[in-house]
Amino acid sequence: MIRKFAMLATTAALFVACGGNVEENAASTMDAAKDSAAQMLNKAQEDAKAAAATVDSTAGAVVDSAKAAVGTTVDAAANAANKAVDKAAEAAKSATK
C-alpha cells in the first residue's frame, strides 16, 4: 500500500513539476497564433488593395479603349456619310446637265 501511495505521490510530483510550464506554453502558443492571424489578415488586406488598384487601372484602360474605338467608328461613319453625300451631289449635278 505504501508503495502504491509512493508511486502515486511520485507521479503527482512529476505531473506538477512538468506541468508547470503548460500554462506558459499555452499562453505563448496563443500569442503566436494571434500574431500569425494578424499577419495573415494584414497580408489579405494588402492583397485586396492591390487587386482593387489593378481592377481600377484595368477598367480605366478598357474605358479608354472603348472611347477610342467609338471615336474611330464615328469618324469612319462620318467620312463614309460625307463621301456618300458628295457622290449623290455629283450624281445630281450630272443628271441636271
| Amino acid type, 45 | Q
Average pLDDT, the chain: 82
Q: What pLDDT shows up at residue 45?
A: 92
- In the Cβ-directed half-sphere of 97, how many Cα atoms lie within 13 Å? 6
11-42 per-position pLDDT tens digit: 777 776 666 666 677 778 888 888 888 899 88
User: What's the chain's length in residues?
Assistant: 97
DSSP 50-82: HHHHHHHHHHHHHHHHHHHHHHHHHHHHHHHHH
- What confidence score (pLDDT) does residue 20 get? 60
Q: How many domains does the chain contain in total?
A: 1
Domain that holds residue 52: 2-96
Given a cut of 70, is residue 91 above it in pLDDT? yes
Coil/strand/helix, residue 42? helix
Q: What is the mean pLDDT of residues 39-61?
A: 89
pTM of structure: 0.46
